[in-house]
Amino acid sequence: MNERGIRDRAYGCFLFCGLAALLGSLMEIIQKSEGTTVLLGFFVAIPLALMSIAALIGGLALWIIRLPNDWRLAGLSGTSVLFVATLLTGFGSIVIAFIYAFVVVATCGVWFVILRNRYGAAPAAAGDTAQPADAADVKTRRGS
């Protein structure tokens, strides 16, 4: 896999964590009944938290192993670890979750919208060997 694909995966992992934090904080704000709270917690919050942990581990591993010189990924890793630490120690709040989500989504958005084009073309799909045809090539195929 080329460097752009690796960076896409790393930034995608952190983007998922940021969006999960945003969704979790929005679920905390919304007023709901006791039955809805149980259903949202069991069917949305727990799977989302588990997937976010997996994405965070994946993003950290990609940064440490494959892209240690990317300072944006280092910043995302640091803020993610600090955010998880604040949640585990009980100092986390909705405001911290919103700030974390904003920073992560903005940083990943800058990567996907602006900086991504600096690392070459997107990798071709597996088995895709089609070449763009020009007018002369089309005529020779038709037999004209």
Q: Please count the structural domains in the chain.
A: 1
Q: Residue 130: inside a domain, yes or no?
A: no
Query: What tokens does 102 get?
Result: 């904003």
Residue 76 lies in a domain: yes
Residue 29, amino acid: I
- Of 104, 99, 105, 103, the C-alpha closest to 86 is 99
Asked whether residue 98 is assigned to any structural domain, the reply reads yes
Q: Establish if 142 belongs to a structural domain.
A: no
pLDDT band of residue 141 (cuts 50, 70, 90) is: low
Determine, yes or no, domain membership for 139. Answer: no
Structural domain that includes position 36: 3-120
> What would the pLDDT profile of 104-125 be if each residue is shown by its tens digit?
999 999 999 999 988 776 656 6
Q: Evaluate whether 104 touches 15 at the Cβ level (below 8 Å).
A: yes
Inside any domain, residue 143: no
Q: Residue 27: pLDDT band by 50, 70, 90 thresholds?
A: confident
Is residue 66, in this structure, part of any structural domain at all? yes
* CB distance 94 to 29 below 8 Å: yes
- Residue-wise pLDDT tens digits, 45-56: 899 999 999 999
| Structure-token pair, residue 138 | 């089309």
Contact 23, 48 (CB under 8 A): yes
Is residue 131 in some structural domain? no
Q: Give the tokens for residue 105.
A: 């989504």
pTM given for the model: 0.79
